[in-house]
């Protein structure tokens, strides 16, 4: 990926493969046979693709998955493609297609499209299923895209703000839902960690499970955790680590947590938690997906 300093991203073919799920080999065939997209070249002769190329491939991916041949898609206008996708969205339902449409709404900074996809998902699946089957995989993809630099800050802030609003509204709707004598989760992000969506998502799940939540949010200094634990009864800690760390620093941080909270169960999620497949301290539990949280909490209650 190349970033020019303006709000224009230049994608490599590997970026397109990661974003669309279409193999680079297939993209090259479609380029050559159908002129579906046409890469440009840098002054050093490196091929790159634009936002428009990415959007076209995402749309093609949706239509192709519903049985429309690529040879027919290439003869459709952009308006015909969009109309067909809306028709598919109204008559059928496909998780991957919904996620891809959320990605397009992020790229285009299109709030109405984002809300339409969300509303459709909630109607068809309900809010919990929308979070676990649509938003959570979308969060995961946004986190990965942020790490590899294939979205620029304004896009990430735009979609993060929309998702954050919806999660906070849902969390507010659970006010007073904690069980009597419920245990308490301390939920936070480590110092210099600002990607809050995953933590908000799990805060919703934790509250939905009937627990109390003490939500500290972004970039919490380690000494503040110690102080809060001394003042309040905390039963579990839950954190998310997305910002790049070396494996050594990641391991050291988890060990510090484990040593400082020996009598607590500590849940850790986020991109780095999934990236490093390492042995964890006995009281630290890796959460890679929502199902892990549900099974872990049942074992540790």
**Pairing verdict, β 212-220 and 47-48:** unpaired
- CA 262 – CA 283 distance, rounded (Å): 7
- In this predicted structure, the answer to whether residue 37 has a pLDDT above a threshold of 80 is yes
- CA 61 – CA 151 distance, rounded (Å): 20
> pLDDT tens, 101-160?
888 888 888 898 898 888 888 888 888 788 888 887 887 777 666 655 666 778 878 888
3-state DSSP of 37-88? CCCEECCCCCEEECHHHHHHHHHHHHHHHCCCCHHHHCCCCHHHHHHHHHHH
- In this predicted structure, the answer to whether residue 214 has a pLDDT above a threshold of 50 is yes
- In this predicted structure, the answer to whether residue 93 has a pLDDT above a threshold of 80 is no
**Domains in the chain and their CATH numbers?**
51-170 (no CATH), 175-300 (3.40.50.280)
**Pairing verdict, β 236-240 and 212-220:** unpaired
CA nearest 137: which of 294, 291, 297? 291
- pLDDT band, very low/low/confident/very high, at 51 (cuts 50, 70, 90): confident
- pLDDT band, very low/low/confident/very high, at 183 (cuts 50, 70, 90): very high
> pLDDT tens, 158-171?
888 898 898 898 89
- In this predicted structure, the answer to whether residue 3 has a pLDDT above a threshold of 90 is no
Is residue 267 a contact partner of residue 295, using CB atoms and an 8 Å limit?
Answer: no
Quick check: pTM over 0.75?
no
Q: What value does the mean pLDDT take over residues 177-202?
A: 88
The percent of residues in the chain predicted with pLDDT above 90, rounded, is 23
């Amino acid at each position: 990926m190349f970033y020019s300093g303006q709000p224009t991203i230049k994608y490599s073919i590997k970026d397109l493969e990661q974003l669309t799920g279409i193999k680079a080999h297939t993209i090259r065939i479609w380029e050559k046979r159908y002129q579906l997209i046409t890469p440009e070249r840098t002054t050093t002769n490196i091929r790159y693709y634009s936002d428009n190329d990415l959007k076209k491939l995402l749309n093609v991916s949706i239509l192709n998955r519903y049985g429309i041949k690529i040879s027919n898609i290439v003869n459709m206008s952009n308006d015909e493609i969009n109309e067909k996708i809306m028709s598919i969205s109204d008559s059928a339902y496909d998780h991957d297609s919904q996620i891809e449409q959320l990605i397009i709404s992020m790229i285009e900074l299109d709030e109405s499209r984002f809300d339409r996809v969300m509303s459709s998902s909630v109607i068809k699946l309900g809010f919990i299923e929308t979070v676990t089957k649509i938003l959570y995989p979308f969060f995961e993809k946004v986190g990965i895209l942020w790490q590899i630099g294939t979205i620029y800050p304004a896009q990430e802030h735009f979609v993060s703000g929309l998702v954050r609003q919806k999660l906070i509204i849902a969390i507010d709707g659970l006010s007073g839902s904690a069980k009597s004598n419920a245990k308490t989760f301390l939920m936070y992000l480590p110092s210099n960690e600002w990607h809050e969506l995953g933590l908000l998502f799990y805060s919703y799940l934790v509250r939905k499970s009937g627990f109390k939540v003490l939500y500290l949010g972004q970039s919490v200094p380690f000494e503040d955790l110690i102080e809060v634990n001394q003042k309040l009864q905390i039963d579990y800690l839950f954190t998310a680590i997305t910002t790049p760390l070396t494996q050594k620093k990641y391991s050291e941080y988890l060990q510090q947590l484990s040593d400082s909270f020996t009598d607590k169960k500590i849940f850790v999620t986020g991109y780095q938690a999934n990236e490093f497949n390492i042995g964890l301290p006995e009281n630290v539990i890796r959460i890679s997906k929502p199902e892990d949280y549900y099974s872990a909490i049942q074992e540790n209650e």
